[in-house]
């Protein structure tokens, strides 16, 4: 065989593997228009990669990624400065943070799993439970990372449409369970629409699901919930009543550590051991662990900031509804603007006014609750579009 890009000398014996098969001038590689690439699984090749919310310029408000608009607290910054030198690996188990969370919620450290963001834990749990021929159920539209999780595991995602008021249709989700179902993801408050699942609704749903099916309660935005009756997986200790339930939380939203990537799960030790087995070791840095612990120490200050965000959210929802927008009851740090076929047009108008929002073409626009000055500008632009 002659290496790609090399032509044998005129008359040379191409079958001769010895040095006598002298190679001549290189062939022009620019004639090869398509490189030979590794074979990608068709299901993966057909899946659109995750796209982060558009970055904002210096004069724009970034309202596309549900980030906390407040700068880190001084105590959190001090914790980052005291981090172990970066030439050393972090604790592979994030043991100090697990112990702290265990004490906070009254569980053993082994009932706590910490990873680089709660979506990492979601990925680990799906890998641990679902494979080829299996199914994973989730509501749609919901968090845009959900469709990729079963596909990566070789399983099939089963999307159950939201109700007309943008809530989980738990009756339909329970009806979708088959002998192939291995996991169900519930997002409350739902990203990107905002409504919650109530405690009564969750209890009725769990009662219909066989105990050998994993139920993942994704509560990434739980700290922003003010609605009475909302399910709180940790306060209600649903993981003790139902060992097949795992509750997810994150430090990215209310705690403002999105750039450090720290999330955690609480559930049955054996279920979390399976997640730990499929996870990438050493994924939580010492800096992230220190900042998360410092954030727990400073929780009263952080919750004051959450209250400010909730107040701004209320003004946004009230103002948008007054303009005629049919905005769902958001219990998160964002609001949902159902724009339908006008979604791209409306999103472009926001961007033209230095408001970077997150459009979901054909459905609507998610607008994060940001800085104080952004509230009036969002309402001004939205009002001009009615």
Which structural domain range is residue 340 located in? 61-67+300-384
* Residues 307 and 293 grouped into a single domain: no
Domain membership flag for residue 51:
no
Q: Is residue 24 part of a domain?
A: no
Please give the average per-residue pLDDT across 270-281, as a whole number: 97
Least confident piece of the model among 87-91, 105-109, 192-196, 381-385? 87-91
Cα–Cα dist 204/174, whole Å: 10
Kindly state whether residues 185 and 322 are assigned to the same domain: no
Whether residue 220 is found in the same domain as residue 349:
no
Band (46; pLDDT cuts 50, 70, 90): confident
101 and 234 share one domain: yes
**What is the per-residue pLDDT across 14-35, written as a single tens digit (0 to 9) for each?**
555 555 544 455 555 555 578 8
Domain assignment of residue 177, yes or no: yes
The CATH number linked to 108 is 3.40.640.10
The residue among 297, 324, 358 that closes a domain is: 297
| Structural domains in the chain (count) | 2
Residues 251 and 352 in one domain: no
Burial 155-186 (b: 16+ CB within 10 A, else e): bbbbebebeeebbbebeebbebbeeebbbbbb
Task: Identify whether the C-beta of residue 257 lies closer than 8 Å to the C-beta of residue 114.
Answer: no
Q: Quick one: the chain helix, strand, coil %, rounded to 5?
A: 35, 15, 45
Confidence check: pLDDT of 122 > 70: yes
pLDDT confidence tier of residue 200, bands split at 50, 70 and 90:
very high
Choice between 55 and 80, residue whose per-residue pLDDT is larger: 80
pLDDT band at 229, cuts 50/70/90?
A: very high
Distance (Å, rounded) from C-alpha 327 to C-alpha 325?
6
Asked which of 282, 297, 312 is the last residue of a domain, the reply is 297
> Is position 157 within any domain?
yes
Burial 202-237 (b: 16+ CB within 10 A, else e): beebbeebeeebbbbbbbbbbbbbeeeebbbbbeeb
Q: How is residue 24 written in tokens?
A: 């001549």
Least confident piece of the model among 27-31, 131-135, 185-189:
27-31
Q: According to the model, what pLDDT value does residue 366 have?
A: 99
312-340 pLDDT, tens digit per residue, is 999 999 999 999 999 999 999 999 999 99
Whether residue 11 is contained in a domain is answered as no
Q: Are residues 211 and 341 in the same domain?
A: no
Between 10 and 132, whose confidence is greater? 132
| 287 and 339 housed in the same domain | no
User: Per-residue pLDDT for 9 more than 70?
Assistant: no
Same domain as 219, residue 120: yes
What is the CATH number for 374? 3.90.1150.10
98, part of any domain: yes
Query: Is 245 part of any domain?
Result: yes
Whole-number pLDDT of residue 260: 97
Higher pLDDT, 15 or 344: 344
Say if residue 91 is in the same domain as residue 131: yes
Range with the lowest mean pLDDT among 56-65, 86-95, 214-223, 287-296?
Answer: 56-65
Q: Is residue 224 part of a domain?
A: yes
Domain final residue pick, 275, 297, 319? 297
Could you give the count of Cα atoms lying within 13 Å of 51 in the half-sphere of its Cβ?
Answer: 9
- Is the per-residue pLDDT at 178 higher than 90? yes
283 burial (CB, 10 Å; 0-12 / 13-18 / 19+) is: middle
Between residues 40 and 206, which one has the greater pLDDT? 206
pTM of the model: 0.89
The Cα 200–Cα 202 span in angstroms is 5
Which H or E run contains 247? Answer: strand 245-250
In this structure, the answer to whether residues 269 and 331 fall within a common structural domain is: no
- 193 and 232 together in one domain: yes
Considering the domain architecture, whether residues 134 and 257 belong to the same structural domain is answered as: yes
Is 50 exceeded by the pLDDT of residue 297? yes
**Interhelix angle 269-278/118-129, nearest 10 degrees:** 100
């Amino acid at each position: 065989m002659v290496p790609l890009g090399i032509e044998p000398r005129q008359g040379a014996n191409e079958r001769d593997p010895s040095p006598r098969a002298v190679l001549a001038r290189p062939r022009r590689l620019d004639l090869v228009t398509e490189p030979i690439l590794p074979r990608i699984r068709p299901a993966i090749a057909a899946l659109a990669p995750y796209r982060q919310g558009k970055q904002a310029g210096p004069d724009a408000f970034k309202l596309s990624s549900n980030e906390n608009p407040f700068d880190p607290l001084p105590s959190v910054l001090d914790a980052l400065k005291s981090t172990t030198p970066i030439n050393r690996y972090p604790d592979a188990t994030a043991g100090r943070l697990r112990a702290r969370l265990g004490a906070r919620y009254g569980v053993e450290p082994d009932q706590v799993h910490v990873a680089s963001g709660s979506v990492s834990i979601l990925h680990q749990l799906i890998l641990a439970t679902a494979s080829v021929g299996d199914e994973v159920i989730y509501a749609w539209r919901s968090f845009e990372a959900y469709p990729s999780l079963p596909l990566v595991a070789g399983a099939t995602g089963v999307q159950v449409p939201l109700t007309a008021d943008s809530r989980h249709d738990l009756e339909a989700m329970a009806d979708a369970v088959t002998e192939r179902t291995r996991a169900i993801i519930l997002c409350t408050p739902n990203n990107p629409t905002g409504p919650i699942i109530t405690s009564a609704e969750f209890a009725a749903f769990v009662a219909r699901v066989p105990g050998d099916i994993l139920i993942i309660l994704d509560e990434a935005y739980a700290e922003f919930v003010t609605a009475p009756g909302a399910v709180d997986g940790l306060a209600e200790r649903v993981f003790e009543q139902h060992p097949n339930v795992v509750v997810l939380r994150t430090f990215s939203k209310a705690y403002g550590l999105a750039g450090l990537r720290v999330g955690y799960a609480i559930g049955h030790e054996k279920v979390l051991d399976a997640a730990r087995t499929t996870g990438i070791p050493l994924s939580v840095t010492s800096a992230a662990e220190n900042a998360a612990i410092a954030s727990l120490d400073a929780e009263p200050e952080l919750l004051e900031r959450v209250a400010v965000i909730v107040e701004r959210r209320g003004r946004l929802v009230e103002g948008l509804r007054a303009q005629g927008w049919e905005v769902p009851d958001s219990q998160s740090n964002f609001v949902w603007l159902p724009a339908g076929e006008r979604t791209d047009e409306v999103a472009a108008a926001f961007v033209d006014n230095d408001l970077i929002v997150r459009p979901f073409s054909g459905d609507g626009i998610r607008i994060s609750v940001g800085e104080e000055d952004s509230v009036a500008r969002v309402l001004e632009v939205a009002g001009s579009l009615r």
